[in-house]
Amino acid sequence: MGAGYFYRCPKCGYSFGASTGVGFMFPMVYAETVQKAKKGELGKEIQDFFKEHEDGAINASMVILRCEDCGHLSSGMNLTMYVPNGKKPKKNEHGRWSVALPFEGADYVTGIELEEYYTEFAKYPHKCENCGGRMIPLHTKPVCPECNTPLEEELDLLWD
């Protein structure tokens, strides 16, 4: 499942749009992202994580990110790293993903599986494109980076 959001600041007019989730392509996106991570294309931290934890997993969902220093908003893949908690399911437990894109036998870890079978190991070190500060995934309604006013949601759509 995926969602799209468009926000506007009622005070200064700043606007921001983002998509979250992944949708029907999740198994393929997950596998491609893990391969990029293992090749070092997503940075040394996540490459080293997979070298040290071959059975590790990541959160491959798109999220809204906010800079802790300047408040800049962007969207990107979460990429939090996880290690098994001892209750990891067998890889063949994945059934058909969807009618359109079944991905039967694909190697991926869903958000539900992360919660049940894994423990958070480390957050991915997202860097702000504006100031170089640390970006963190938002779990609350975003605030305007210009005037610190809560943004109003003008458009919300669901896809897949």
DSSP letter string, 16-83: EEEEEE--TTHHHHHHHHHHHHHHTTT-HHHHHHHHH-TT-EE---EEEEEETTT--EEEEE---EEE
Domain contains 1? no
Does the residue 76 lie in any domain?
A: yes
> Taking 70 as the threshold, does the pLDDT of residue 100 lie above it?
no
Domain count, the chain: 1
The C-alpha atoms of residue 159 and residue 19 are separated, in whole angstroms, by: 10
Dump pLDDT digits (tens) for 140-160: 889 999 999 999 998 677 665
User: Domain range for residue 133?
Assistant: 23-139
16 located within any domain: no
In a domain, 79, yes or no: yes
More confident residue, 147 or 102: 147
User: Is residue 144 in some structural domain?
Assistant: no
Q: At 1, is the pLDDT very low, low, confident or very high (cuts 50, 70, 90)?
A: low
In a domain, 158, yes or no: no
Establish if 41 belongs to a structural domain.
Answer: yes
Confidence band (pLDDT; 50, 70, 90) for 98?
low
Handedness of CA 139, 64, 156, 159 (dihedral sign): negative
Chain segment 7-24, per-residue pLDDT in tens: 999 999 999 999 887 877
Residue at 148 is within a domain: no
Q: What is the DSSP letter of 11?
A: T
